[in-house]
Amino acid sequence: MQENSPANFPHSHLANLSHLDGEGQAQMVDVSAKTATLRQAVASATVRMLPETFAAIETGNTPKGDVLGIARIAGIMAAKQTANLIPLCHPLPIQKVEVLVIPQPDLPGYEIQATVKTKAETGVEMEALTAVSIAALTLYDMAKALEKSIKIESIHLIRKTGGKSGDYSLNLED
């Protein structure tokens, strides 16, 4: 057994880890007793590239077509598939997914932002994070013929609202 395995942690610590049972085994959290509340999460990712690649995407001069539109749609689709991709995520009734691909000429590159909203027993942070991750990967895939050195950076939660743990907002100094 590995040294950092959950089974090696004292059982008093396991009580605070909702995805582990009393023996330290992974489990899907039981949210059946929770009340469905309005929940929203916003996540972000940064995609950096050469100025020439950025210019080609901005002018629509790419071999695969509408790079930004396809990346945006991929992000929306990914948010809806999160429970199929992340083993212990709950399938959620998502009411809204918005993915923005915002040009950042000074990088050069793009900031991708996803907002996901639901009324459910658990939050949508993973859906927002999945949306920006897949949108960024799709942007890379659509533009890799122009540049293989595109960098996907800084995937993170910006804010979340609702739920037992309360609201969260990224401290810009983090």
- Residues 47-75 have pLDDT tens digits of 999 999 999 999 999 999 999 999 999 99
Residue type at 174? D
Which of the following is catalytic: 21, 30, 66, 141? Answer: 141
How many Å apart are CA 123 and CA 36, to the nearest integer? 10
The residue with tokens 């948010």 is 79
Q: Which of helix, strand or coil describes residue 71?
A: helix
How many Å apart are CA 159 and CA 110, to the nearest integer? 19
Residue 18 confidence (pLDDT): 63
Domain ranges in the chain? 36-169
Locate 67 and state its tokens.
């790079």
Go through the chain and tell me how many residues it has. Answer: 174
Write out the CATH class of domain 36-169: alpha beta
Annotation marks residue 141 as catalytic? yes
Residue 101 is inside which H or E element, if any? strand 94-104
Phi then psi dihedrals of residue 101, to 5 deg: -115, 105
Locate 144 and state its tokens.
């890799």
Whether residue 9 is predicted with pLDDT greater than 70 in this model: the reply is no
Residue 19 confidence (pLDDT): 64
